[in-house]
Amino acid sequence: MKIALERAVLLGQLQTVSRVASTRSAIQALSGVQLATVDGRCELRATDMDVGLRVTVAAEIAREGVVVLPARLLLDVVRALPAPDVSLELRSAEQDVELVSGKAVFHIRTLRTEDFPPFPEPDEDAAVSLPAQAFVSTALKVAGSASRDETRPVLTGILVSASDRELRMVATDSYRLSVKETTLESPLQASFEVIVPARALQELARVAAHIGEDEPLRVSVRQNQVLFVLDGVTLSSRLIDGQFPNYRQLLPESFEHELRIAGPELTEVVRRISLLAQKNAPLRLSFTPGELTVSAQTPDVGEARESMPLAFQGEPLEIGFNPEFLRAGLEAIEEGDVLLKLISPLRPGLIEAGDNSRFQYLIMPIRLNV
């Protein structure tokens, strides 16, 4: 293999794909980036067996071939190159790649190409096309509620459902639950429901951040994989097997209190008072007629409280929440009012967007010591 390309182009695409290269696998090739020339084009590929990325990079191809190089080292070298152009040539006898830019010459040892897994190909006939920005913004609303505990794999994923004009995503870590529904402008050609690792959708969001708003996203669901194709980038991910919790059963049918609160104001109060909710201390929300008081106390650290007017009626109510979880739910509603729905101090609370944007955030309370 022998190719020549612009350093800035190579650097940008390396920064994209190298994020998914494995840092823990016993298979050394998975820590690398595969450079492959296919049908007159050059591709960069990386995978950790769960998530994979494949991007096309503009290059002059003098000789075709395939090579795998250490991802982190290659990225650092390309970032430091002195000239705007770079050439890479595989030296099979030396088992390395010669990289030349200006007067700088590097020889980087290759990794075993045969250990690098083949990439799945999207099934174009069965692919579903969706607006990329609608898909990604929906995913980002719920991704923070997915679990990071690998002992319950199904909770590390996001339930993605799409049919007709409806896109729905759900995530939960058993302490909180996020549901976001998005209405699509055009009906879909087909429907699907899969559990996708939250990490894969967060990676897709990073890719989408650099493309235009009108760019379509092609989704191809296979037996145990899903492929996303977006503006020349292909992201593949394994699907999570298992039964996702019946989230509809978790959402209470009725509430004792439904309170409309200025979202930005409440969010800022929660952020401030949370500074004194350390060492697993809860954030306390105390409701009295006409007023909400947010407070926190951490032994040997200090305490804080702040009140704000609120149209609350009835018997006083005090409920405690994990400050990080509460803040995340409020921050997911970027502007306007929030609806806070409560039953009792020991029943979950529900946060909804006041503008009817179909976002729900259920959060379990923390039992308070009087």
For 158-193, write each residue's pLDDT tens digit.
999 999 999 999 999 999 999 999 999 999 999 999
Query: 32, 21 in Cβ contact below 8 A?
Result: yes
Q: Strand, coil or helix: what is 164?
A: coil
Global pTM reads 0.93
Concatenated DSSP letters of 288-313: ETTEEEEEEEETTTEEEEEEEE----
* Residue 104, token pair as written in the block: 């700088």
Phi and psi dihedrals of 51, rounded to 5?
A: -125, 140
Q: Is the pLDDT of residue 9 over 80?
A: yes
Q: By percentage, how much of the chain surpasses pLDDT 90? A: 91
215-236: average pLDDT: 93
3-state helix, strand, coil in the chain (%, to 5): 25, 40, 35
pLDDT at 169: 98
pLDDT at 124: 81
CA–CA–CA angle 37, 27, 205 (5° rounding): 65
What is the band of 214 on the pLDDT scale with cuts at 50, 70, 90?
confident
272-291: average pLDDT: 97
CA-wise closest residue to 48 among 119, 121, 144, 114:
119
Q: Is the pLDDT of residue 55 over 90?
A: yes
pLDDT at 103: 97
285-299: average pLDDT: 97
Q: Please give the single-letter amino acid code of residue 52.
A: G
